Structure 1
Amino acid sequence: MTVTEIRPSVGQTLLWFLDRYRGEEGALNCPVLCRLRGPLDRERLREAIDRVTNRHEALRTTFTGGGRRLKALVHPAVSPPVREVDLSGEPDPGACADREVARELGTRIDATGSAVRITLWRLAEDHHVLCFNMHHMVTDSWSCNVIFEDLCAALDGRPCAGTAPYSRFAEEQRAALAGPSGKRLSAFWGERLKDVTLPPLPIRPATAGAPRDTRLVRHVLDAPTVAALDALAKRERSTMFVALLTAYYRALKAVSGAEDLAVATLFANRGAEHRRTVGFLANMVLLRTRLAGDDFAAHLRATHGTVMEAFVHQALPFQMLPINLGRTDRRLDDVVFQMMADPVYSTRAGGLDIEVLVPDDVATRFELELVAVPDRDTVRVLLFYNPDRFEPEFAESLLAAYVDICTSAARSAAPHTDQAGARPRLRTGGHDDQ
């Protein structure tokens, strides 16, 4: 079998540029990370990895060229190398594994050689950590869930659900954008984002030649707060994603004084045919909302309308939005909000207890990114920022404002909240990732 050359998608072309522009420190890495407990059959694990890799053409794709000459090369069936590291002799294997994982996730993947890098750390005879680390050009958050599910099915010897190849999605996307659909999308966004401006935040000009860095401040929204916000969202016929995004708008308004706010987010961008397609299908969407007054519920309704409109028109690639910000070094994706899909935290497959790990300390390619991570009944709130562009004090004040808004909104909604103790449904309504 020979290597097949295909045209990269619009999104892959953008990520290739970003990889050269700000791909340091693993900012474009997208991992599946899990803990394996039980007697590990290494041969069975390798066979499962081979099956998953060969099932999805994106995982066998490398890239060459650049710009308009960028090419995607799909390789025939392969058996990807698995780097094995034995940490069982270390004084504290768990702490050592944490450092090793952080180092792996912070190391750039060169997609010209292989877009997938797999590592297995042995902490004890019956305790391992597996990292299926991928370049974002071949995966997204939704795809990571598919890969994890397929890996578990392969370990159990079960068949996987049918899938369409990524190259088909790329072809369909190009055809749609070149036709009437593309014109309608461009017209919608041209009107929706007319005269849009970015939130007036205290962002400094980028330092020429400065190495990119990512800092993080964090908080955990407790279970009662999450339950109350979820109940409020349901009363407004909305979702937890919208409620948490509304709080972000409110926090940005609090620190900037602006009422016309634009925040970028990622959507899964998948129809029924591609629900199990692995690749970079996600699209970034610019969500513009105007907040008048101080009523959180009214703001939630306004945000819900913005999100629903954007979801219907999400298929126009972000870099094709008809917007000109003029002479500025700011970008449309300077300010980002994401809510991670509620993952399957633990399962059993191949005689192993498998736990999904969601690391916090990862790099980001954005200047200011707030990520909400459902964690059973709570939500971890992670605010990533580029210290070259923002002062730590600003990031801390923004997070503090966000937390205060969430707790205040939950407190106001509490008298109407069902206290029966049912776990809230943390739905994202078509949102992707990361």
Structure 2
Amino acid sequence: MVGAGSTPEWREHLKAQLPSYMVPSHFVEMETLPLTSNGKIDRKALPIPEEQAGSGENHLSPVEELIASVWSQVLGVSNIGAQDSFFELGGHSLLATQVVSRLQEAFQIELPLRELFEHSTVETLARRIGQLRQGDQKPELPPLVPVERGEAIPLSYAQQRLWFIDRFTPNSALYNIPAVLRLTGDWALESLEKGWNQLLERHESLRTVIQEIDDQPVQQIRPYSPETIPVMNVTELPKEVRDNEMKRIIQNEAEAPFDLGQGPLIRVQILQVEEKEWMLLCTMHHIISDGWSMEVFLDEWMALYEEDISGTPAELNPLPVQYADFAQWQREWLKEDVLEQQLQYWKEELSGDLPILQLPTDRPRPAVQTNRGKMHQVLLSHPLREKLKEMSRQEGSTLFMTLLTAYQSFLSRYTGQEDILVGSPIANRNYREIEGLIGFFVNTLVYRADMTGKPTFQELLSQVREKALRAHEYQDVPFEKIVEVVQTERSTS
């Protein structure tokens, strides 16, 4: 092909003219074509196309991860993202047959070949597989769009749980999300403050407080008004005193409770510790944020800061909806018949006696949970990590499923129990409109492993994989609703 245009443009043009299997897998741009001495194209001198790579988007769901893993094996393509198309990555009808057979085995469903042609991206195919696994019974969701802001904006289900906890344990910092960043070098504090204000204006959740109307909680979004970031300078203190003061300030900031009704539910301050060194302290209440949100928050803040100091456009896409729109939408569709249908799976999965894990510890379990604890991190070597990934690919599982299987096996071995339940957070951002929002979306899923009969690791992994995929299909049910219907005995310890 000769002429102007980009690879995506040429690919779209050819897709309109040719069947999918005839669209080239790779495009290589060249100034001139190599010629033989006879003036013909020297095919041996043509460059070998580099290995194709996908968009590499993060945050794939478990179903999307399995699909991407199968595509990677068949196509020899790495770093596949949710929006990547099977055919644009080099797939054709012959390879499609291989993919379909592997996906049928992985998901234990009947998957006609046409489904891959009609749902050619990872995301759309994952959604279709979810429908097939549920027998096409999953109801069509209403569109997630902006709604009118009335006086009473409902809380999401997750928010309502935290509001309820806050009413019974006020002045608690248990649900604070603190972050501390060390800034070194030449930082323009005015530009940081400008970016901070742009975020406040962009995300309604950062201006939200929780009020009560007739004893019912509602979201109240305050109008945007510019704010200043307080700066505390401790550079004049002797080093030892300064270090202790810095630790005290950080500790106090992280442990200071929020007033949900008064707000604001986010605090930011800067602590200058050297001439060119600052500590950026940011604490949010969980009711307006989660781990994914913190990543969005910091990424956008730094992009806006860079835009102001260097002129590099932040290129932040307009937000299609706000968190209040999501809460209203969730309340409208996840109710009555839909909620009952989703809850039915959890009623069956968590039926019978639910055991309390009896780990052999050197201290008795306290009568009331203290929430005192620590985190132990283990860094796996690169060779071990690669072996685990390879094993996951061979077994048709994700790395999470493999590690969860190992963890549940470990718990069973140390406790002697054969019924092992593990709760794990899930981002719960399975709708494109909410991917860039700051808000409280995370949910908890329960994975129950049956160790009776002493299954092999591969047998247990197969069980865990199926349980994980099923749990993901019913992730929309708030954990607190599951607790309500299961009616298990609650332990204060």
TM more than 0.5? yes
Whether 2:305 is the aligned partner of 1:305: answer no
Cα shift at 1:233: 2.6
Tell me the secondary structure at the aligned position of residue 269 of structure 1: coil
Whether 2:333 is the aligned partner of 1:176: answer yes
Output the CA distance in 2 between the equivalents of 1:217 and 1:30: 15
2:347 corresponds in structure 1 to 190
Structural mapping, 1:146-295, within 5 Å = 146-157=296-307, 158-163=314-319, 164-201=321-358, 204=365, 206-207=367-368, 212-216=370-374, 218-224=376-382, 225-270=384-429, 271-292=431-452, 293=454, 295=456
Rate the CA distance shift 1:284–1:21 in 2: closer, same or farther, 3 A: farther
1:395 corresponds in structure 2 to none
Higher helix share: 2
2:246 corresponds in structure 1 to 97
1:292-322 residue CA offsets vs partner (Å, 9 max, x unmatched): 5263343333222222111111001111115
Output the CA distance in 1 between the equivalents of 2:444 and 2:215: 21
Over the matched positions of the two proteins, sequence identity in percent amounts to: 24
**Structure 1, 18-27 or 250-259: larger mean CA deviation:** 18-27
Tell me the secondary structure at the aligned position of residue 50 of structure 1: helix
Higher strand share: 1
Q: RMSD of the alignment, in Å?
A: 2.7
TM-score (norm 2): 0.61
Rate the CA distance shift 1:213–1:265 in 2: closer, same or farther, 3 A: closer
Structure 1 residues without counterparts, runs of 5 or longer: 332-388, 390-434
Q: Say whether the 8 Å CA contact 1:60–1:78 is kept in structure 2.
A: no
Structural mapping, 1:32-431, within 5 Å = 32-65=179-212, 69-90=216-237, 91-92=239-240, 93=242, 96-113=245-262, 114-157=264-307, 158-163=314-319, 164-201=321-358, 204=365, 206-207=367-368, 212-216=370-374, 218-224=376-382, 225-270=384-429, 271-292=431-452, 293=454, 295-321=456-482, 323-326=485-488, 328-330=489-491, 389=493
| Larger Rg computed on CA atoms | 2
Structure 2 residues without counterparts, runs of 5 or longer: 1-148, 308-313
Cα shift at 1:48: 0.5
2:32 corresponds in structure 1 to none
Cα shift at 1:63: 1.3
Q: Say whether the 8 Å CA contact 2:290–2:442 is kept in structure 1.
A: yes
1:24-77 residue CA offsets vs partner (Å, 9 max, x unmatched): 662201234322222121111111001111211111001123895112110000
1:367-387 residue CA offsets vs partner (Å, 9 max, x unmatched): xxxxxxxxxxxxxxxxxxxxx
Cα shift at 1:133: 0.8
1:421 corresponds in structure 2 to none
Rate the CA distance shift 1:251–1:52 in 2: closer, same or farther, 3 A: same
1:354 corresponds in structure 2 to none
Cα shift at 1:162: 2.7
Q: Say whether the 8 Å CA contact 2:231–2:269 is kept in structure 1.
A: yes
Output the CA distance in 1 between the equivalents of 2:171 and 2:300: 30
Q: Say whether the 8 Å CA contact 2:171–2:258 is kept in structure 1.
A: no
TM-score (norm 1): 0.68
Rate the CA distance shift 1:111–1:296 in 2: closer, same or farther, 3 A: same
Q: Say whether the 8 Å CA contact 1:39–1:125 is kept in structure 2.
A: no
Output the CA distance in 1 between the equivalents of 2:150 and 2:245: 39
Q: Say whether the 8 Å CA contact 2:445–2:479 is kept in structure 1.
A: yes
Give the length in aligned residue pairs: 327
